[in-house]
Chain A
Amino acid sequence: MLTYIIKRLFFVLFVVWGLTVATFFISQILPGDPAISALGDKATDEMIQNFRDKNGLNQPVLVQYFSYVSRLAVGDLGTSLRTGRPILDDLRDFFPGTLELALAALLIAAAIGIPAGVLAALQQNKLPDVLVRLLALIGGATPIYWLAILLLETLHNKLRWLPGPGRLDAYLIAPPRVTGLVGIDAIFAGDWQVWSDSVMHLILPAFVLGAFSAALLARMTRAAMLETLNQDFVRTARAKGVSNSTVIVRHALRNAFLPVLTVLGGVLGGLLSGAVLTESIFSWPGVGRYVTDAAISLDFPAVMGVTLLAGVAYSLINLATDLLYAVLDPRISYG
């Protein structure tokens, strides 16, 4: 098992290297001048020249690449051309927002999608199944932007059931930063008003972000459950007189969960790389908004930093998913 994990971690290094090559060279062929973008129209030629010198933009492309990779090797992602701060510091500020939103969205997606998929499979071709399939179709096809505005307009603006955009009410003061996750930091600070407000603020964006994933999970769970429910071991379990709930949960769902787990991993990876639209509409300070602002300003080092973060997150989640396979299915072994 340990050898397998080490091998996979080496593979992550290759992924990172591949990403550095792809993102760096793509950034070189994109139109636009990062120096003019950062300094603006009024900058003198001297200021632009100084900026290029300072950021190594005048060096040959290969020299720039090797300099970037060698800095990366010691954990330095470089400095953002837009914010002027180390990219690691920027990510430290923005990633917790995305992590908080992604985990909440995943929780909502799993809490809705998996039971709905199980229900649809158990009630195949009956009304619940038709409803779940219809809702899954709608959930998968609804544009995030539209859903977000609709929910904000109704649940926040008209009904006042849930708070509006932002991570916290404007009148509340965020707790001292420990993890960067406001809800967790509020618990550390013992500030329950901030904690409850942060949870309430999380519901709408997490639901909007999780709706698409819930639809995907419902369809996936339904298909996997249907396949498993027709297997011989399920029929045998029923013949042995095992209760219906045990058959469904311990025999069918556990076996059907492997493909669902793969989808869950992919969903989490996608969510962690930043939800641009959701973060923009809900004024959520996350990696999605950071990378959008960076891309608009031609801040390539920051874009590359976020790309690497997403690549590493995807790779590690894939590894964790594969390891979980072995836990769920004793036949799988990485020894």
Chain B
Amino acid sequence: MRRRFGAAAALLSVSLLAIGVAQNSRSSTLVYGGDFSDLITLDPGTSYEFSGGLVTDNLYETLVKFEGEDLSTLKPGIATKWTVSDAGSSWKVVFNLRNQKFSSGNPVTADDVVYTFDRAIALKGNGSFLFDEVANMKVGSTKAINKTTLEVTLPKTASPAAFLNLLTFNIGGIVDSAEVKSHVVNNDYGTAWLKNHSAGSGPFVLNRWDQNQQVVLEANPNSRLLPLLSRVILREMKEANTQKIALESGEIDIAENLTPDMVAAKAKDAKFNVYKADSLRLQYLGMNTGADSPFKDARVRQAVRWAVDQDAIVNDLAGGNARKIQTIIPAGLFGYNPATPYKVDIEKAKSLLKAAGKEGGFEFEYLVPQGSCGAGIPCSDLAAKIQSDLAKIGLRAKIRQIVQSELLGIYRAQKAQMVMVGWSPDFPDPDGNATPMSDYGAKSLAWRNAWQNDTAGKLAQQAALEPNPAKRAALYKQLTELQLEDGPFAILYQPKVPLTLAKTVKGYLRNAQGQVRFEKISK
């Protein structure tokens, strides 16, 4: 009897211990539910997907970074100090590094930065263009002066400001060169290994990645950025309903993809908080200004802008999960122009059409992608709203809803009359929007809409290269005003990303680039 009692007591103790360990583990773990199906690699040198960035930003520190929600002021990362100087035919950017360690225990040195940058260029991954096309860097542009000082040489065709900003992107995550080199197979720069391992100095290390299931991050004891939680799990859940149920049952602490009505319901529930993060995305109408297009005359494009009811789109269709914006640089970025001169004015729109010789209106093809547009609005609903707004001034839009890649194929060939798509800059710098949307020679959005305005193109180039912030701001103001008057775009809105968090989650911040510093979150 006594033996049986002893065994029962032992079993109970083990069970209680197990429960205690589990509860302790739960309280020190953040479980983040979302659709991470775009995750294909965790190598910072090749990852270009949103989910890849979300993870690698927490595994790898960058030389410079943004803090909190602010995307306009660079803060020290691995670099404690940096200076940009004009060296005549080039820019010299010098970084001083702090003493810190990678997760392996190896010190972070200037040689690691050289290896990281050269590796990213040589790999020719989806994000490599940031270094070789935007910053015009080559293998060899980065040189170590000593263990803690390095110099990057940029040609005068590149913008030092844009270069510094793009370093905050995951391609700027510094890798442990000794660790990576030890895993190189067939000259692959260790990319096969880094796909599902980590070698950084960020606050977390990769514990494991079970494809289409979860990514588990553990605190990096060697990081200077010690996290408040010891573990973060990104749990893949595609369905909004699944995320809602998992959030309610406490399986996850954060749900990233609830529908707008679910978010609205959770906002009224005392157990949850709703956090609306900004994004840098612009949902816009692109109007082809080519010789045969009815949108050739700037007054027709202005008429479209006077006819579109943005307030109804932002408040009703997006349920408030979007920002009203009419200029080409998204709010949150340097150079943002908050001007919103266009309001619904049907008479004014009609008079502009009359002045342009289009009094009776016209019919045109309106290309719309399938699925959801920004802020979770079904693209078909948004298209129907625009169609109805334009019909009020006599413009008869024939909606053609097709798959995104087919739409882009037509748009990229300058063959679309009007498109409704989204655009986000690749790095948090106004040039990520200004040049593609204004410079015909860049063969991007301005080109796709056959809009060749030499003044706009020159302004974009000048602003990109201008090192003086005040002068740069003035140039962007001039450019955004020109675009408002003459540009081929009708900006519809800037979507927000609503996230639902369990009330216990504290310190969650997400900037418009989608970066979340997991080390600052507690629960």
* Residues of A that sit less than 8 Å from B by CB: 31-34, 36-37, 39-45, 47, 82-84, 93-94, 149, 152-153, 156-157, 160, 164-168, 170-171, 173-174, 280-283, 285, 289-290, 293, 298
Question: Which among A41, A45, A153, A165 is the interface contact of B237 at CB below 8 angstroms?
Answer: A165
CA distance A286 to B429 in the complex (A): 40
Chain B residues whose C-beta falls within 8 Å of the C-beta of A168 in the assembled complex: 213
Can you report 9 residue pairs joining A to B where beta carbons are below 8 Å apart? Answer: A32-B406, A40-B126, A160-B249, A164-B245, A166-B214, A170-B235, A282-B242, A283-B213, A289-B212
Report if B13 contacts A (CB, 8 A): no
- Does A165 contact B37, Cβ atoms closer than 8 Å? no
Chain A contact surface mostly: loop
Residues 388 to 411 of chain B near chain A (Cβ within 8 Å): 402-406, 408-409
Q: In whole angstroms, how far apart are the Cα atoms of A32 and B409 in the complex?
A: 8
Is there an interface contact between B239 and A280, defined as CB atoms closer than 8 Å? yes
Instruction: Please state if B412 and A283 are interface contacts (CB–CB under 8 Å).
Output: no
Surface stretch bound by A, among B23-31, B154-162, B182-190: B23-31
A45-B443, A170-B214 known; A281 vs B241 contact (CB < 8 Å):
yes
With both beta carbons as reference points, the residue of chain A lying nearest to B403 in the complex is identified as A32
| Given A82-B40, A283-B237, A289-B212, residue A164 in contact with residue B426 (CB < 8 A) | no
Cβ-defined contact, A149 with B126, below 8 A: no
Interface pair B213/A285, CB less than 8 Å apart? yes
Q: Is A33 a contact partner of B408 (Cβ separation < 8 A)?
A: yes
CB distance from A163 to the nearest CB of B (A): 8
**A167 and B213 contacting across the interface, CB-CB below 8 Å:** yes
* Bound form: Cα–Cα A149–B213 in Å: 19
Tell me whether A36 and B408 are in contact (CB under 8 A).
yes
Once bound together, how far apart are the Cα atoms of A173 and B237, in whole Å?
Answer: 18
Given known A-B contacts A41-B423, A157-B249, A281-B239, A173 and B408 have beta carbons under 8 A apart: no
Closest CB-CB distance, A49 to chain B, in whole Å?
A: 12
Q: Do B29 and A293 touch (CB < 8 A)?
A: no
A44 to B214: give the CA distance in the assembly, Å.
Answer: 32
Instruction: Select which of B133, B251, B405 is within 8 A of A165 by beta carbon.
Output: B251
Q: Is the CB of B210 within 8 A of A174?
A: yes
Q: Which of B407-456 contact A (CB under 8 A)?
A: 408-409, 412, 421, 423, 426, 443
In the bound complex, how far is the Cα of B25 from the Cα of A82, in angstroms?
35
Q: How far, in angstroms, from A170 to B216 measured CA to CA in the complex?
A: 9
Tell me whether B245 and A36 are in contact (CB under 8 A): no
8 Å CB contacts to A: which residues of B11-59?
22, 25-26, 29, 31, 37, 40-41
B344 touches A (CB below 8 Å): no
Q: Which residue of B lies closest to A45 (CB)?
A: B443
Task: Point out the residues of chain A lying under 8 angstroms from B403, CB to CB.
Answer: 31-32, 298
Q: Closest CB-CB distance, B28 to chain A, in whole Å?
A: 11
Pairwise interchain contact B210-A289, C-beta atoms closer than 8 A: no
B210, B238, B405: the one contacting A33 at CB < 8 Å is B405
Instruction: Closest A residue to B425 by CB, please name it.
Output: A42
Among residues of A, the one whose C-beta sits closest to the C-beta of B22 is A171
Name the residue of chain A whose CB is nearest to the CB of B207.
Answer: A173
A36 B237 Cβ-Cβ under 8 A: no
**CA separation between A280 and B37, bound complex, in Å?**
11
Interface: B463 (CB within 8 A): no
Distance in angstroms between the alpha carbons of A152 and B211 in the assembled complex: 23
The 5 A-B pairs with the shortest beta carbon distances in the complex, nearest first, are A37-B405, A285-B212, A32-B405, A36-B405, A31-B406
A216–B406 alpha-carbon span in the complex (Å): 41
Residues of B within 8 A of A41 (CB): 408, 421, 423
CB-defined interface of B231-260 with A at 8 Å, one 1/0 digit per residue?
A: 001011111011001101101100000000
Q: Give, as a whole number of angstroms, the nearest-CB distance from A182 to chain B.
A: 10
In angstroms, Cα B249 to Cα A167, docked, is 16
For the complex, give the distance between the alpha carbons of A48 and B523 in Å.
45
Nearest-neighbour CB distance to chain A for B122, whole angstroms, equals 15
Contacts of A166 in B (CB 8 A): 213-214, 235, 237, 251
With CB as the reference atom, state the residue of chain B lying closest to A171. B25
Cβ B405 vs Cβ A170 within 8 A = no
Pair A173/B213 contact, Cβ less than 8 Å: no
Q: Are B235 and A280 in contact (CB under 8 A)?
A: no
B26 touching A171, Cβ below 8 Å: yes
State whether B406 touches A165 (Cβ < 8 A).
no
Residue pair A153, B405 in contact (C-beta under 8 Å): no
In the complex, which residue of chain B has the Cβ closest to the Cβ of A193? Answer: B18
With A93-B211, A152-B242, A293-B37 known as contacts, the answer to whether A170 contacts B406 (CB < 8 A) is no
Q: How far is the CA of A39 from the CA of B404 in the complex (A)?
A: 12
B47 to chain A, nearest CB (A): 11
Chain B neighbourhood of A37, CB < 8 A? 404-405
Residues of A within 8 A of B404 (CB): 32, 37
With A174-B210, A281-B239 as known contacts, state yes or no: A164 contacts B409, CB within 8 Å. no
Among B203-236, those with CB < 8 Å from A are 208, 210-214, 216, 233, 235-236
Min CB distance B159 to A, Å, is: 17
User: Does B362 belong to the interface (CB within 8 Å)?
Assistant: no
Question: A112 vs B251: C-alpha distance in the bound complex, in angstroms?
Answer: 30
B498 to chain A: closest CB distance in Å?
21
With A31-B403, A42-B426, A157-B249 known as contacts, the answer to whether A165 contacts B242 (CB < 8 A) is: yes
- Chain A residue contacts of B235, Cβ below 8 A: 166, 170, 283
Contact: B246 with A165, CB < 8 Å?
Answer: yes
Contacts of A289 in B (CB 8 A): 37, 212, 238
With both chains docked as a complex, state the minimum distance between the C-beta of A41 and any C-beta of chain B, in angstroms: 6
Closest residue on chain A to residue B29 by CB atoms: A171
Inter-chain contacts of A152 with B (CB < 8 A): 241-242, 245
Q: A164 with B406: in contact, given A281-B241, A282-B242, A285-B211 (CB under 8 Å)?
A: no
